[in-house]
Amino acid sequence: MAQVWLNDGLVAADTACISPADRGLLLGDGLFETLLVRDGRIAFAARHLDRLARGAATLRIPLPPRASLEQALRATVAANAPTGGAALRLTVTRGPGGRGLAVPDTTVPTLLVTCAPLAAGGEPAHLAISDYRRNETSPLSAIKSLSYLDAVLARAEALDAGCDDAVLRNAAGNLVCASAANLFAVIRGTLVTPPLSDGPLPGTVRAVVLERATIAGIAVNEATLALAALDGAEEVFLTNSLIGLRPVHSVEGQVVGASCPGPITRQLMTLYEQELDRSLS
């Protein structure tokens, strides 16, 4: 039987109970991290916990000590003994509160950690351009808050169109990210990804890819991507913690480049796997 970590310890998943007054449930008042587990080892845990801490500071949610979070992650993995790949999700809410928006005087956060097997890796993605927008002016664009409905609706829109995922634009109409992944393109030999000021989440894999590309001597540019920018892209790929790098085959039915994955994407996939192995060792 699957086990989850709830607040202070492990419990059976089917008996875990969260208060009906929990603000994460009622208001989306919380944040989360999704971590890759491979053969029982957690990838890039420090990067994820660093981002969790930044998000908690933005939302003014007090976190348990870092050592307690690390213990909860390790214990949940050990209790579920996943083989191969698994998704480890750490969720923190502000906890129970009275009715209304006002932050309670006393905050007792809820901590939930779950572990689930990963589905088989996806083929190169077919993307649609979503009508939903990402608000680059909101502080929520920089954290993994529980408020994910724009992404939920964008993904549903893409699936309805027969695509795998959607690319969201910001209020200015520029390309930002996919529903749950960062967006990269190779344009005239340069690796380009939208800057954080345009509204993408500061993804952990995004950071690794930028670091490894720079070390490898690949030209890198964090630059605004207009809607038409992908028309002439030689390569496009997505990144997140669970998929690593996923090549994109087409955008709005238009095939990207001459091969999928393209040469720079293939090089970065290899470099990323090397960095992933180091994080797991």
Per-residue pLDDT of 202-220, as tens digits, reads 999 999 999 999 999 999 9
Residue 1: the pLDDT is: 66
Q: Would you say residue 196 has pLDDT above 80?
A: yes
State whether residue 75 is helix, strand or coil. Answer: helix
Residue 13: the pLDDT is: 94
The percent of residues above 90 in pLDDT, for the chain, comes to 90
Residue 105: the pLDDT is: 84
Looking at residues 120-137, what average pLDDT do you find?
92
Looking at the whole model, is its pTM more than 0.85? yes
Q: Compute how many other C-beta atoms are within 10 angstroms of the C-beta atom of residue 222.
A: 15
- Angle, alpha carbons 95-97-99 (nearest 5°): 140
Using one digit for the tens of pLDDT, what is the confidence trace for 69-100? Answer: 999 999 999 999 888 899 999 999 999 998 88
What does residue 219 show for φ and ψ, rounded to 5 degrees? -65, 130
More confident residue, 84 or 152: 152
Under a CB-based contact definition with an 8 Å cutoff, are residues 142 and 196 in contact? yes
* Rounded CA separation 85/77 (Å): 11
**Average pLDDT of the chain?**
95
The side-by-side arrangement of strands in the sheet containing 41-42 is 9-12, 3-6, 110-117, 85-93, 30-38, 41-42
